[in-house]
Amino acid sequence: MSKIHIVFGPQGAGKSTYSKKLADEVKGIHLGIDNWMWKLYGDDLPKSMNLKWIMERVERCEKLIWELSEDISNRGCDVILDLGFTKQEKRKLFKQLAEENGKEIQLHYVSAKHPIRRKRVLDRNVNRGKTFSFEVTPGMFDFMEGEFHKPTESELMNAVIIDTNPKE
């Protein structure tokens, strides 16, 4: 039976890198929100930060991504959802959608210390490597830090926990 993998964690923790590796390991399909948002709406981004505008489009992408996820899963292939899942309510919603549709779910929590994550995000702006979709300014990073809901004990109970801090 195929699985829906919900990958979550704060920005810069390594969710996209981990998700792509997981997709290779399970021969699954990786669906990442950053790529969708940038390719669909990047050219239309307002000049000043407009969270309402962005979130309306994120919601549209998430609905389409879920429909695609169901179709892929129904064909027997694992789906790796790399949608940020910063809010506990969003994680709960996607878990509920999967359960209502008889899908097996696996949560994956990716974490790293704040200074490491901040450096990764700012370095990504410069290097523009494989996981770069759009520039995240220091102000955007700081704002999004406050938006992340730390996982509850019950969320982590059966989750795969990945610590991406560099080994010392």
On whether residue 35 sits in a domain, the answer given is: yes
Range of the domain at 125: 3-163
pLDDT of residue 134: 64
On whether residue 113 sits in a domain, the answer given is: yes
On whether residue 58 sits in a domain, the answer given is: yes
Q: How many domains does the chain have?
A: 1
Sign of CA dihedral 60, 62, 65, 70: negative
For tokens 């910063």, the residue is: 86
Domain containing residue 115: CATH number:
3.40.50.300
Q: How do the pLDDT tens digits run along the chain, 168 residues long? A: 899 999 999 998 999 999 999 999 999 999 999 889 888 887 887 777 677 888 898 899 999 999 999 999 999 999 999 998 999 999 999 999 999 999 999 999 999 998 898 888 777 776 766 766 666 766 677 777 888 999 999 999 999 999 999 886
On whether residue 38 sits in a domain, the answer given is: yes
pLDDT of residue 1: 83
The single-letter DSSP state of residue 162 is: E
On whether residue 168 sits in a domain, the answer given is: no
pTM of the model: 0.89
Q: Please give the structure tokens belonging to residue 2.
A: 């195929």
Q: Report which of 106, 128, 112 is spatially closest to residue 14, judged by C-alpha positions.
A: 112
On whether residue 64 sits in a domain, the answer given is: yes
